[in-house]
Amino acid sequence: MARLEGKVALITGGGSGIGREASLLFAREGASVAVVDRDEAAAAETVALVAAAAGSKQAPAVAVTADVARAADCEAMVAAAEQAFDRLDVLFNNAGVMLGADDDAQTTDEATWDTTMDVNAKGVFLGCKYGIPALRRAGGGAVVNTASFVAKVGAATPQVAYTASKGAVLALTRELAVIHAREGIRVNALCPGPLRTELLMKVLDTEAKRSRRLVHIPMGRFGEAAEIAKAALFLASDDASFMTGAEMVVDGGLTAAYVTPE
């Protein structure tokens, strides 16, 4: 049986990268998917890919345009998912930004800090603010929040706003997991390592920058968005039924090479 058979999932940042791969994978595993992105065309393209994979023009997916940093948009995206599919079982707060101007504390400008925190941290908060009540209405469900390995070890290349925002995601995940554990709502975080996605490759835009990041990865390569989508599927499914408040690290061994056990 498909692992998300009969479930409804909402995936933010669904127009590209991890979000697109998760949308395709979740649909293959039986879920109906609300593909959310601030780029309307990108969300629609993902829905078309889901339809093509299903061999039907009637995709088990809908495109929803939303900016996760805006409360009204987050409320509307959850409403759209419930309107399309009558319920919500999985909330994947995946949307994120990594800005080129993000550097050390001295040189990072306030606008870069604010934008990064608004999307990466407040976006997860707002997704949960409106998504968790929908999961409760469905009788329980799963929240998966995309954090990052940098929340655990810091980045070799300075990016203080991004790192701080992902640390906030981990803290928020732990607290929400405890709050909602008795309601049948599980809340877990993904901590991907460096991935070969457009988001990261725009920042690591020279061979020197890419090599500096790769030297820290024991596997010697960047991860792929599809590999993270598989981890998200596990956390979203009943296979992870006794996991909540956890941080799943999928990083090619990066943190194992630098974190000393307490």
Domain ranges within the chain, ordered by starting residue? 8-253
Number of CB atoms found within 10 A of residue 8's CB: 24
pLDDT score of 55? 72
DSSP symbols for 120-179: IIIHHHHHHHHHHHHHHHTT-EEEEEE--THHHH--SS--HHHHHHHHHHHHHHHHHHHH
Residue 212 to residue 204: CA distance in whole angstroms: 9
Low-confidence ranges of the chain (pLDDT < 50): none
User: Contact 12/69 with Cβ under 8 angstroms?
Assistant: no
Catalytic residues: 162
Assigned architecture for domain 8-253: 3-Layer(aba) Sandwich (3.40)
Report the predicted TM-score, pTM, of the whole model to 2 decimal places: 0.93
pLDDT of residue 209: 65
Which residue blocks in 13-109 are alpha helix, DSSP H?
17-28, 40-54, 71-85
pLDDT for the residue numbered 59: 64
**Residue pLDDT, tens place only, 143-157:** 999 999 999 998 878
Note the maximum CA span of the chain: 53
Residue 203 is predicted with a pLDDT of 63
Task: Give the pLDDT confidence score for residue 53 in this predicted structure.
Answer: 86
- Distance between alpha carbon 123 and the CA centroid of its chain, in Å? 11
Inter-residue contact 97 to 112 (CB < 8 Å): no
H or E element at residue 236: helix 225-236
Q: How far is CA 50 from the centre of its chain?
A: 18
Q: In 3-state terms, what secondary structure has residue 251?
A: coil
Q: What pLDDT shows up at residue 200?
A: 66
